[in-house]
Structure 1
Amino acid sequence: MAARMLVLGGTNFIGRVFVERVLEQTTLEVTLLNRGVTAPDLFKTVPHLKCDRHDFNSCSTQLAGQHWNYLVDFSGHSHAHIENIVTNCRFDHYTYISSSAVELSWPEDQLFSMAQNKLWCEHLIQSACAEVLIFRPGYVVGRHDPTGRFEFRNGRWGWLGTEEPVQPVVEVEFLTNLMLVLILRGQTGIVRGGYARPRVEQRAHPPVSTEPDWAAVSPASTL
């Protein structure tokens, strides 16, 4: 029997390229779970579970009693997003797509709020799951990018309409290939993409005041 993979998201940019790669290169039984809003006609041969991750009952209806060998999360951005998944199904290995911003942003940076949310999600997943693989990519570039922020010129990626290079940067093809290889290997830990070391070790506080504080994040090992 083929191993089962549940992809949370999977129809936008990184998730889309990843699902394409999984379907082309493996015999995994892939199922997508998302709201059915972004590109709902993609991957018609793959089962789709439609739900809002903010809604516990919706997640429970779709996931209760199910078991997955691999869970790959492209759409987790809040406490509810994580809790409503980990409390409603069983899985062996959880891969979470975070961001380099959790290590490279600072309080005045426009990405800091997002980074704190991502870091809090990392903490929740690591607390709930034994086998966890976290990716912290830099700016991801390549096909299916819906943002239109970047352009490739003179052998480098730059911000559209400027001479400023994109840093840290990682190609979506490289990232998704590495993800699949490490997932199938059962790799755990934190993997950086596009940069080697954090700018600073920052203390993470949950973005919502009702959550408890938690300890400073220690620098991750680069794989």
Structure 2
Amino acid sequence: MNLLVLGGTIFLGRHVVAAALARGHRVTLLNRGRHGTALFPEVERLVGDRDGDMRALQGRVFDATIDCSGYTPEQVVRSTTALGDGAGHTVFVSSISAYAGFAPDRLYDETAPLAAGHEGYGALKARAEEALLAARPGQAAIVRPGLIVGPHDPTGRFDYWPRRVVRGGEVLAPGRPERPVQFIDACDLAAWCVDLAEARTAGTFNAVGPRMPMRELLEICRDVSASDARFTWLSDETLLALDVAPWTGLPLWLPESDPAFGGMLLADLSRARAAGLRTRDARATIADTLAWTPDADDLAAARPVATLSAEREAEILALPRP
């Protein structure tokens, strides 16, 4: 397969390229040429700007395109216009953030309402999806991941948990121990994106892993790392009162009663499963994360979120509790 990858050098895109090359596909990258210039020397590289000049794509013909870097409808229109009929089947990596909201305690599937308007990450992803479907009717797969995790993650979000647990001792654990969480390994998502391109599968899919209790995730982190970590669970209300930031301060933590985001980690993945999504055991993801040492390309692309510092965690754990 002659495959075009839009992006391809940061996190998920890097895994997509590796998966495609491992299957013997011919890969062409288009990006701005600012990151990962030494990665994948065997691939063809085109330089283009999703917000500007995309002439490098004109006249090119591919069997499939995997778009890892489209964030706005304008960017999608530029690439589809430049490629015309040469895009082949298109796999667009969107986000569950494209949904309008996540009511507490309620599962949601791909028919849930999308965010309105043209402002903010989620709304722009929703409009980008619409732009692609208008340009490529019946020839596109829309993939909506939740939190993507594993090696080459530039944000450091999920990494917080395996690396915190490996340090051992008393660990601040957020919310209710049986609170469900979801994430997806970048390797699994990348392999499935290539599957969708190969099979020319069309449709819209929640790209998430199976739900598991937060307690189980932390216990797996402890088992994999063989640490002596012990977990102290603080309620949503307590953490909010202490100004701990949901999702970023303690990753994968969202107050369950939050009217807008309480159910964000309750996505239905049955449609993706039926379309071939397979996910490895969380132990493999955690082991890979702990074994990963960021390279120069990872460091250049890093945009870490402000997770809870060790000092702030210790302060919170030292507070008197009822």
Give the C-alpha shift of residue 170 in structure 1. Answer: 0.9
**C-alpha distance in 2 between matches for 1:220 and 1:121:** 22
**C-alpha distance in 1 between matches for 2:203 and 2:172:** 36
Q: Tell me the equivalent position of 2:59.
A: 65
**C-alpha distance in 1 between matches for 2:60 and 2:193:** 23
For each residue in 1:81-108, what CA deviation from the matched residue of structure 2 results, as whole angstroms up to 9, or x when unmatched? 11111111122211100001112647xx
Give the C-alpha shift of residue 168 in structure 1. Answer: 3.0
Give the C-alpha shift of residue 182 in structure 1. Answer: 2.1
The structure 2 residue matched to 1:117, chosen from 102, 124, 129, is 124
Q: CA RMSD in A?
A: 2.8
Change (3 A) 1:102 1:65: same
Correspondences of 1:23-102 after superposition (within 5 Å): 23-25=21-23, 27-55=24-52, 58-60=53-55, 62-89=56-83, 90-102=86-98
Structure 1: 4+ residue segments shifted above 4 A: none
State yes or no: 1:135 paired with 2:132.
no
**C-alpha distance in 1 between matches for 2:183 and 2:153:** 13
Change (3 A) 1:168 1:7: same
For each residue in 1:67-94, what CA deviation from the matched residue of structure 2 results, as whole angstroms up to 9, or x when unmatched? 1110110111112211111111122211
Change (3 A) 1:100 1:189: same
Q: Tell me the equivalent position of 2:294.
A: none
SS of 2:64's partner is: strand
Q: Tell me the equivalent position of 2:173.
A: 163
Q: Tell me the equivalent position of 1:12.
A: 10
Contact 1:190 1:221 (C-alpha < 8 Å) held by counterparts: no
Q: How many residues align?
A: 187
**C-alpha distance in 2 between matches for 1:142 and 1:46:** 24
AA aligned opposite 2:131 = L
Percent identity of paired positions between Structure 1 and Structure 2: 29
When you count strand as a share of all residues, which structure comes out higher? Answer: 1
When you count helix as a share of all residues, which structure comes out higher? Answer: 2
Change (3 A) 1:162 1:194: farther
- Contiguous gaps of at least 5 residues in structure 2: 103-118, 166-170, 211-267, 273-322
Q: Which deviates more from structure 2 when the two are superposed, residues 175-184 or residues 134-143?
A: 175-184
**C-alpha distance in 1 between matches for 2:180 and 2:270:** 23
Contact 2:94 2:125 (C-alpha < 8 Å) held by counterparts: yes
Change (3 A) 1:64 1:113: same
**C-alpha distance in 1 between matches for 2:100 and 2:71:** 18
Q: Tell me the equivalent position of 1:212.
A: none
**C-alpha distance in 2 between matches for 1:92 and 1:39:** 25
SS of 1:150's partner is: coil
**C-alpha distance in 2 between matches for 1:139 and 1:7:** 21
TM-score for both structures, normalised by structure 2: 0.53
Give the C-alpha shift of residue 53 in structure 1. Answer: 1.2
SS of 2:154's partner is: coil
- Contiguous gaps of at least 5 residues in structure 1: 107-111, 197-218
SS of 2:13's partner is: helix
The structure 2 residue matched to 1:178, chosen from 182, 192, 205, is 192
SS of 1:7's partner is: strand
TM-score for both structures, normalised by structure 1: 0.75
**C-alpha distance in 2 between matches for 1:6 and 1:123:** 21
